Each structure stands twice: as C-alpha cells, then as structure tokens.
Amino acid sequence: MRRLLISVISIVAVTGALLLVEAQAPPPKVCGDGVLQNPNDAGVNEDCDDGNRTNADGCNDAQANGCRFVCGDKTVSAPNADGVNEWCDEAGDTALCTASCGVKLLGWGWASTFGWLSLSSANCSYFLEPNQPAICTPATNYYVQVDTGNNLSGYAWSNNIGWVCFGATCSGTPPYGSLGAPVTVSGEPGQEPTVSGWAQATAYGDRGWFSLNCSDPGVCGQSSYEVRLGSDHFYKNDDAVELTQPTLIGYAWHNYAEGGGLGWVQFNPAVGIAWLQTRLGDIYAGGRVEGDRPQGVFNATYRILANGDVTFGSQSGVGTPWVDPNYGPIDFPTPQTRYSNLLGKIDLDGLICPMGLSDSTCTNSYGQTVTKIRRGNDLNLANNNPLGGNIYYYPGPGTLTIDNPVAFKNQSAFGYADGSGLIIVNGDLVIKSEVTYEAALALNKFKNLASVAWLVQGDISINGSVTQAAGAFMALGDGVTRCPNAGCGIFSSGSSANFLTVSGLVMARTFSFGRTAASPLRGSELIIYDGRLLANIPPGLADFAEALPIWRSGTFAP
C-alpha cells in the first residue's frame, strides 16, 4: 500500500472574537438617496433616483415632474438627460455610468473592534462555504468595485460603524496624498495586484480614515501591511454551486493621531480550518498524526497508519485496520541502506551515470538514457515531447528551480512508446510554477501515459502561488543532515491562501504544510493518488511500486 510519510503535522485555525460597538441604523429609503427602491419608505415604487442631483424632479414617471433619467437612476440611457451615453447604470452610482463601469467585489473584512465589514449587498446571496449562515446586511444595494481605470471605489457596510467608502467615492481630506485608491499590478509572478490609498468610515468624518497600504503614510519600516486584489471561492446559497469572484485580501489600518482607533481590518479572513486530505490512498506517519478537519469529512480514503496518536479520520472506517496508532516505524530509505526499506529498493547509483561538463547524455548500467538537466527550464522539453521512458538528472550542486509551467505529455495513442520518466535531483527542488499532466484521453495502452517521479536528494519546496503539482515526489534528503534542519528531506507546500493539489504521492522525512485556504469540500493541501505510478512505472521504480496499493479508478487525475 502507498505510504505517505509524515513526521509531525500541525494545522492552525484562525479565529476571532466579536467586540460590538454602538450600532448604527441603516439610512432611510427615500426619493433622492441615489438608490432605486421598490417601494421606498413613502410607499413609492421608484422608476429612477438620481441622488437629488436635480432637485424636485421626482422618482416616478407618474409624478408631476416625472423622472429625469441620469446616471444613478438604474436605467441605461444613451444619451441620458445630461447627454451622456451610458454603458451601465447601478442604483446610487452617480459617477460610473460610462467606460468606468467596473468589476464588483464580493467578500468580507473583519475587525476585532467592530466585527464584520461587507463589501457587497450580494454577500447575503453568496456564502464563503455552502453551509455557512449568511451575515445579512441592510436591504440596500451597495458594493465595492474596481473600475476600468483600475481604481477602487464604492461602499462597504458594517452593522456597527455604518458605511465605509473607498477611494474617490469618499469626501474630505485623507491624512496623506489624495482620495484615490489605485490598484497596481506588482509585476511579481504569483502576486496579486496591490491597492493603495484610503477608505473612510463616513460617520467618523476625517477621523475615520483607513490606510490601505503602509506606503501612503510612510510607515512600512515600522509596520508592513497592504491590501491586495485577490479572489476566493463563493457558493450560491440556493444550489451550492462554486464561483470564483474577486475580493480584497490583506490588512488595512485605522488609528487616531492622539492614539487608539479602530485598529486592523483583515480582508477575506479565514472562516474555516486548514486541513490535509488524501484521496484514493493511505497515510503513514513515523510518529503522531494530528490535526483538525471539518465535520463530516475525512483525511484519507483508506488506511491511516502511525507510530503514535492519531486524530485524523479515514473514510473507510474507525479502528483497526483502517486507523492504527500502533503500526510501528518504517525506516526511511538512506544511502547507508542503498535506498531500500519495507517499501522496496531504489538503485540510485545504478540509475545515474558519470557525465563530463560538456556531456548532455549518458547510458546507465541498465541501458537507459540519462539526460543532464542544467536548469529548470530544461524541463520545458516536456511541453513539446513526452518523457520517453528516460531519466533526467540534475547533478547539482545547488537547487533545481522550476520557473515556468511544465505539462507532461502522453505518448501517441498507437504503439508502445513510453510516456514515463524519472527526474533525479542532486540537491533541492523548488517549484515556482504549475506542473501538470496532459489529460489522459483516447489512450490505447498504459505505456503511453505520462507518469513522472521526482527523486530529490534534498528538500522539496513549492511556492505558495502554485496550485498544481504532478508526480510522485520523494524528498530523500542529502543523507547527512538530521531533521528538522534544511536539507534533511523536507516537503514544504508553501505558505499562502491558495489551495494546492498534488496528483500523485508524496514521501518525505518531514512535512511542512502551510496552506491556509479553508473549505469543507476539499483539503487545503489535497494529495490525489491517481495511479499513474502503477499504470506506467517510471524507470528504476519497479520494486518500489510493488508496495503501492492497487488502483481501481476509471479516470486518471489530470
């Protein structure tokens, strides 16, 4: 059976306490408030509402003065009464009816001093999780958006401090700079665009300014914070269909000049728990296996074997044989044991062969071709050509870094051409871009299937921006360093709010799981034992593969 070796697992949930301050009633629904109401507090079904830009023009066609159709009346007019050709018209939006029509955000912010801050009235229709109760807001249309000029604008709502405006939507004078809240692409791969500028709790006037980026007040050296434009998974409350929508992430800061204030607002805070999940396989730990999981879900499909306490759950059942805290240790393969243990043997010395500085290939003792890798970009050959049953070797020293996406291709659907490959790294492996398999469609023979294994004589580190990694990953370590020191054979998933899916299996001396994305539908880190390693065994791993569980699914993971 497959063994996923884990030393110690520690998964942290982010929680918070709500400190209520004095509540503020929502504004009245009246003609002239810039929001289309059906009906308003006077019982009038409004056909338009221009925010009283034109006094006494009325909000209903049947009134004596009738409607003067302008930006903000929720009727797209080309032209409107001001001669403007509108592209969109949101009720209450008196500035963004032309090419500035923007992308509306969903999501929440959280402050320990005043609780939840809603970025959109649509939040009551979309949950962060399917079964999470909605935190409903006033029956008033509002939103925060990014317009086509890449500026943040609009209103958010708090039941405790009232309206919070963003950017040029606000009035007054911010402590530094101008009212704008521009969104800037950082230029760093995997980094979300940054937001700078200001938001304002309107009831507080010029004492209500929130800084969205430490660079605006010039305090980054003392406290580095920023808000970014990101995205998250939301679920329609009536059908639990998952949607990916833009939202804000990061922190904003409020304080008074004399000290005190509303403090930190964290956007898109974790509302669930981070947890590890494997599908179609087992988990084995040389020590304890501990960590939380959402109610009603499981960490493994089959067996969880450990040499210590187990708090993980198996989908197949409880107690022996599915959950066994007394399974005993399995020695990790080392150079001293010639990389053999109960799982089988890997003849690492026989799989590689000596190469000079100018050599690009050699033939090992098994008659297999070994291709030298000098840099991570050399693996881009896999985007155009299958692995061909060959071995790829990075002789080191140092780190092999995968900077560009790699998609391992299947062989032709005809003949016995081999789609497998073995990548051996004499050093550390760092993955900074997506590593995937081509979809397994219309293949006649398993031999054609793309299947890759990574043997790493060091640590394996995945950047937090990466969401997919394909292959059988084995962090063997350098054979000298003792864990938990770097180089001992650590698998690190990277620290970020992104989900990570590994299609294959992972073996390491020590694991560091740092993903904080939370969902009851899947683990923060999801390892899918897809069966490729058995269906088309990479060169040199036949003995090792005999210890793996039989794979019975009808579809390979992409």
Over residues 209-223, the pLDDT tens digits come to 999 999 888 888 777
> Which tokens sit at 337?
């044991």
Query: Which of the pair, 467 or 42, is modelled with greater confidence?
Result: 467
Query: Which of the pair, 439 or 493, is modelled with greater confidence?
Result: 493
Residue 501 in contact with residue 330, Cβ under 8 Å? no
Q: If 0-12 CB within 10 Å is exposed, 13-18 middle and 19+ buried, where does residue 369 land?
A: middle
Going by pLDDT thresholds of 50, 70 and 90, the confidence category of residue 550 is: very low
Is residue 101 predicted with pLDDT exceeding 60? Answer: yes
Going by pLDDT thresholds of 50, 70 and 90, the confidence category of residue 21 is: very low
DSSP assignment of 363-423 equals E-TTS-EEEE--SGGGGGGGGTS--TTEEEEE--SSEEEE-S-EEEPP--SSS----EEEE
Is residue 336 predicted with pLDDT exceeding 60? Answer: no
Going by pLDDT thresholds of 50, 70 and 90, the confidence category of residue 445 is: confident
Is residue 46 predicted with pLDDT exceeding 70? Answer: yes
Residues of the chain by 3-state class (helix, strand, coil), percent to 5: 5, 30, 65
Q: What is the mean pLDDT of residues 43-70?
A: 69
Share of the chain above pLDDT 90, in %: 22
The pLDDT assigned to 93 comes to 44
Going by pLDDT thresholds of 50, 70 and 90, the confidence category of residue 39 is: confident
What is the number of helices (H) and of strands (E) in the chain?
3, 36
DSSP assignment of 96-131 equals -SSTT--EEP--EEEETTTEEEESBGGGGTEESSTT
Give the other-Cβ count within 10 Å of 42's Cβ. 12
Distance (Å, rounded) from C-alpha 272 to C-alpha 101? 33
The pLDDT assigned to 331 comes to 59
The pLDDT assigned to 552 comes to 42
Alpha helices for 271-316 (secondary structure H): none
Q: What is the mean pLDDT of residues 147-172?
A: 87
pTM for this prediction: 0.54
Is residue 483 predicted with pLDDT exceeding 90? Answer: no
The pLDDT assigned to 9 comes to 31
Taking CA atoms, 112 is separated from 21, 115, 263, 275, in Å, by 10, 6, 8, 25
Please tell me the least confidently modeled range out of 118-127, 130-139, 202-211, 327-336.
130-139
Is residue 294 predicted with pLDDT exceeding 80? Answer: no
Q: What is the mean pLDDT of residues 24-43?
A: 72
The pLDDT assigned to 551 comes to 42
Considering only CA atoms, give the Rg of the chain.
Answer: 29
What mean pLDDT is reported for the chain?
77
The pLDDT assigned to 413 comes to 56
Is residue 122 predicted with pLDDT exceeding 60? Answer: yes
Is residue 19 predicted with pLDDT exceeding 50? Answer: no
Is residue 347 predicted with pLDDT exceeding 50? Answer: yes
Q: What is the mean pLDDT of residues 109-119?
A: 88
Going by pLDDT thresholds of 50, 70 and 90, the confidence category of residue 164 is: very high
Share of the chain above pLDDT 70, in %: 72
- Phi, psi torsion values for 543, nearest 5 degrees: -70, -40
Q: What is the mean pLDDT of residues 516-527?
A: 84
pLDDT in tens, 389-437: 899 999 988 899 999 999 999 887 556 788 899 999 999 999 999 999 9
The pLDDT assigned to 139 comes to 63
Give the domain ranges of the chain: 5-12+273-545, 103-267
The pLDDT assigned to 177 comes to 86
